[in-house]
Structures are given as structure tokens and as C-alpha cells.
Structure 1
Amino acid sequence: MRRRLINSTLAVVLVVIAVFGVSLVIVETRTISSSAQERVTSEAFRLASVVDSRIISDEQINAEILRDVAAVDTDRYALIEIPGRAPIEIGSRPTGDVIRDTARGEEGEKVTVEEPRTAVTQEVGRTLLIIGAVALLAIIAAVLLAVRQANRLASPLTDLAETAERLGSGDPRPRHKRYGVPELDRVADVLDGSAERIARMLTAERRLAADASHQLRTPLTALSMRLEEITVTEDLDTVKEEATIALAQVERLTDVVQRLLTNSRDPRTGSAVSFDLDEVVKQQLEEWRPAYRSAGRAIVSSGKRHLRAVGTPGAVAQVLAALIENSLMHGGGTVALRTRVTGNQTVIEVTDDGPGVPADLGARIFERTISGRNSTGIGLAVARDLAEADGGRLEMLQTKPPVFGLFLSRTPLQKRAQETEETVR
């Protein structure tokens, strides 16, 4: 592309120089020739006027006197012919091609002035040399300008090609580089926008994979424990009971997968309904009691009963599971689930008797990859996202002993919207 731009610019300049240069040479040549002819004609008339005045005054007329009076130099020749007198010659008669003109005086004299055409040729040559020098400078300037313009246009295109190649190779970092050319800047804007969208999609995919591995682990662990109970017992009633619980775990697992897929399409999509909070708490206690029993610890519930909350039961169960698992891994002693009411919200608090959250992690506990021990560090971040998807919120109310609070609305979304509209009116 650089070569094409340079060649095209140079071709345009050469055409312009050829058109205007030739025209200028023709005009200048004619001007110089006309000027030389006018000089010879003017000198002939002037010399005739001088001879006229001396004849009328009856003054002496000879070559020496006329040479001093006339402007005839060594390159110019003059012949004065006066009736009844010998011809007078001034200067040396040139040979070859000459410029000649003749003037006649009032007393019948004839003055002929000649000048060699070589003087005109030399002046035309000097003019051609100047025009050629200017044309050469114009060509050099055009080449430099073409190279600069080619670099200005080709370098951004090379950068844009590299950016597109990086996008294709999986590096979605935008460059935010602009070039001062509107068309190229537009392409750069589109590539940067595409890079940001690709980065968001890659981040969403990685988050989906991380969330899936984390959220599927808990129901799979619970399902594994139920199956282990089935394998070690010979009591048919126990087998049926454990199989029923295992089927419930499979349904929970299906709900988790469905919710993960829904959130991957639109994280703000929720399926909030009014549900009985006691059922979700009871289900979590039954699910986690064997694990706590194996660890030599206990899990209990307390607080106000028969509370209803607005949210997705499956999502609320996943949030509580994340908090309970967090207490099992990082806490100590008995884990308590307390329910209470504050204003128009139902609150579920999860606390234990452990050492609590370190001070350096307190403000960042809900950030991804933040973990106090060897864990994924995404459990609490996922739990907060699940809570916020249905209009709730998850907060750390106390660090020592640790207290996490899940706040859920008690009013359905439609009713809240109507109340807000009436308040505005």
C-alpha cells in the first residue's frame, strides 16, 4: 500500500509538472525572445533619433561619437547609412542567427541594429535551469509528502490488522489508540467495542464455569452422602427414605443447572415468588446435618416462625447452603440459623462460634477469589449475586463472631411497584 500511495502521488506531481512546466517554458521562451526583439528595435529607433538631432544641428557624426552616445556594446552591432556619406559601423558584426531591426530617420538616414541570438538562447537556458530546479524540488517534496502520508495511512492499517489478529487469537484487550483519520478512528472504535464485548463474553463464560463448579459441588456432595447411606444400610424403609431425599437432591441439582443457564443469559433475570421460609430452612438443616455430625458439630435454627419472603426458593437455598458450607469450612462450634423481621424485610442470619473473619478480609469478603483458606473464593460472591438477582441482599453484619444476614422482601414485586406509584402520585 505504501508503494501504491507513493507512486500515485508521484505520478500526479509529474503530470502537473509536465503540463505546467512545458507551458511555462513555452511562455518564458516567447517572452525572452520578444523582450530581446524589443530591445533591438528600441535601440535602433534611439540611435536614429540621435543621428537626426546631430544632422539637424550640423554636428560631427562618426563611429567614436555614436559609440559614446549609443548603448551599443561589444555584443551588439549597428550600421548607420546616411545619404551622401560613407556608412558608419559600430561594434563587430555577429555571425550566425541574429536578431535584427531597422529604423529610418527624418533626414533619410537608415539605422540597422543586430544582436546575436545566442544571448536569447543563454537566457532561455538559465530560465529552463531554474524551472528544472524548481520542478526537482517539487518532486522531492512530493516524494517526502507521499512517504509521510503513506506511513500515516499504512501504519494505522497495520495496527488495526494486528488488533484484529489479536482478537482472533483470543486476546480481547482494547488498545484505545486513535490516528487522527476519521475513517480509521471509526474502524478502531468498532474493534475496541468488539474487544470489550468479547472480553465480557469470555468473562461471563469463565464465571459460569466457576459458578457451576461451585454451586454443583454442594448438591452433588449431599447426593453422594445419601447414596452412601443407601449402600451401607439393609433396612428397606431407610433405603426408601434416603432414595426419596436423593431424588430431592437431583431436583435441586436440576434447578441449580437451570438457574445457572438463565443467569448466564441475563444475570438480572429472577423468578421471585412468595414462599414459606421455614421450608427452605428445614430443608437446609436436613441436608447439612449429616456433614456437621461427621465433623462433630451441630447446626440449629431459631427465631420467628411461619415467615414468608419474596424470592426464588432454589436461589435462597443456594445462598444459605453457601453460608452454611462457609461456616463448616472456616468456622467452629454450633452453626445457628436465626430468622427475624425488620421493617418490610425478612432476615435470615447465619452465625457460628468460630474465630470470625480476619480484619484484612472484612471489607473484601464478597469479592471473587478472596478466601481466608484453601478454597475457590467465589462462594460468597456467587451467593451475593443470587440474592441480588431477586431484589434481596447479602451482608456481613458482624466479623467476630461472624454473622451473615440475608435480607429478603416480604412484599411481592407487583405490590411494591403499585405502592411506589401511589406514593409518587
Structure 2
Amino acid sequence: MRQRLALLVTATACLVLVAFLVPLAVLIRAVAEDRAVVTATGELQGLVPLAATTDTADLAALASGASRPVTVYPPDGPPVGAPAPRTPAVELAARGRSLTAEADGGREIVVGVQGRPDGTVVLRTFVPAEELTRGVTRAWLVLAALGVALVLVGLFVADRLARSLVAAITELSTVSHRLAGAELDARATPAGPAELRDVAGALNHLAGRIQDLLREEREQVADLSHRLRTPLTALRLEAEALADPAEAARVTSGVDAVERAVSGLIRAARRAAPAPFLAECDAAAVVRDRVAFWSVLAEDTGRAVRLDLVPGPLPVPVAAEDLAAAVDALLGNVFAHTPDGTPFAVSLTADGVLTVADEGPGLPEGAGERGESSAGSTGLGLDIARRAGRALVLSAAPAGGAVVTLKLR
């Protein structure tokens, strides 16, 4: 913007200067020419009374006494004074006319002196081009310097104005990027023109509104999660009351896992601000643990599980709780959308790509759309997995079934 404003001011200043300085330069040259011609004409007119009363023999002395070269043409006889040919202007002056005519290298001024008994005497002087343009070059240089100075002053003023505008716009851009990076406490300082101050105020209001909405959402999620503790407590008491110790331990372990998930959800909901990609965990360990958890249910439903994990540790920029929730969501979809006895496979490569494939009926209609499900669930499982990784890809296996690929880094 600064460059464009500078270019605009330069172009405008140049057009204005050309519109004023070119006619002024032409006027200066015309004034200089008129001044030189008027000066020479005045000096020649001063000799007219003397030429009208001086004898023909003394006309040479009259021409030599002039302050500039003067040629005198008597009515009869050769010219005296400064040597000069008899031009058409001299012929016209001999008929009683006085005039100024263009000549090679300047202008000639001729005056016809009448009233002598022997005829008309013609006085002629020549003004060279150097005298006609004397001082014009210097005046033009002064005008050019003045024009350059005005352009520079205009550029300086435009730069100062553009700097204030650009600084305000740059601050707005910086604040917007900080807000996009989850720095919700970022605020813009209203500065610059009224329009930019209004934009800064609107951006600050938007940031505050976003904070309020996120705070309300976190409180609602935390409250909902907290309400789950009551049925979990009742479920734990029921599990502890089971007669079979092994069955009681298994159910209690499941309740503990759910309670840990709920507690993690409450802590996540009450975080002051999200910090994506700042946490880190061992993906191999998390995936192995979650597959072991689901393997118990897979055994009960007659599902074969094939696990292919890269040797750990495999650090990925995802929190352990988020990755565990993503794996649970993907495996839960397998159990929800495929019949009992359907085998599935879980693999994790060294470049952080997690793949869950099953041999079920394939992808259901609406799969991958948030809130869409054909199995009576919330339809948010894939969205949970998508937010935990960098990218989520759904595809169909060549032999049938669904393949879900989650890129963790």
C-alpha cells in the first residue's frame, strides 16, 4: 500500500507540475525575448532624434557612438556602422516602417527615420539568440529544482500518511492471525482513520464474543460430563456387588476406564484455551493399549484382530487422551457398523499413519459427515478422530469393507 500511495502521489504531482511548469517555462522564455527586444528597441529609438538632425557625413560617428552594434543606411550611399547586408526588413523600413523581424541567429530591429530633406534614414540593430534567451536556462533549472522539491515533499507526506495506514492494517492482520492461532486474548489498538478504528473495535468485540461462547461451551460440556459421574458411581456399585470376582473385576475395570475418560473430558473442557499440536505421546503405546482393551470385546463377539504396530516409541504431536479417544472412536465404529464375527486389522507405520480396516459391508451412507450415522449413534466418532490427527481418509477395501486412515503427523 505504501508503494501504491507513493506512486499515486508521484504521478499526481508530476501531472500538476507539468500542467503549471511547462506554461510557466514558455512564459519565462517569451518574457526574456520581449525584454531583450524592448531593450534593443529603446536604445535604437534613442538614436532617432540624432539621426533626424545629423548630416549624412556624421552618420558614421552616430553609429559608432551607440552602446550596441548599429548599422545606418543613408538615403543614398553605402551603409555605415556595423557591417550588415541590406535585408528585406531594411527595404520596408526605408518606406517609413519600423519593425522587428526574425533573422539567422537572432532578431533584427529596423527603424525608419523620416523628416530629413534628403530622404529616409534606416537604423538597424541585431539581437543575437544568446541575448534573447539570457537567464532562461537558469530560470528553468530553478523551476525544475522547485518541481523536484515539491515531488519529494509530496512523497514524504504520502509516506507518513501511508505508514500510519499500513501500521494500523498490519496490526489488524497480526491480531487476526493470533486469534486464528487460538490466542483469544489478542486485541487490536484502534488507530488510523475512523474506518480502521471501527474495524479494530469490531475485531475486539468478535474476539470477546468468541471467548464468551467458548467459555459457555466448556462449562456446558463440563457440566454434562460431571452429570455422568452419578450413573458411573451406581454402575461401579453394581459391578462390585457381582458374585463372580473375575466378572466384577472386568466390569469395574471398564467403569474405571469410562470414569477416566469422563474426567479427562472435564479437564479438557475447562482448559482456558486450546493448544493444538503442543502435546505429545507415544502413539505405539497408546494404540497397543486401546487395541488390547477392545480385544476383550472382539473375543466375545468372535472377531479376529490383526495388529501390526511399528516398534515404539513413536512420538506424535497429539495428546495421549485425544489419541486414545480417536482409536476408541474408530474401533467403536467397527463394532457398531459390522456384524459379529467380522475381522478387522489395526496398523501403525513409522511415519505416523494409523489404519483401521475391516471386512464388513463397507462404508455406510453419510459416513464421514459430522452428526450423520446409520447405526443409531451420535455420528461424531470420525469427527473426534479427524480432530486428533492431521488428516482423515475414508476408502473402501478392494475385497470389501472399509478402510480408515488417520495421519498423526
Q: What TM-score do you get using the length of structure 2 for normalisation?
A: 0.45
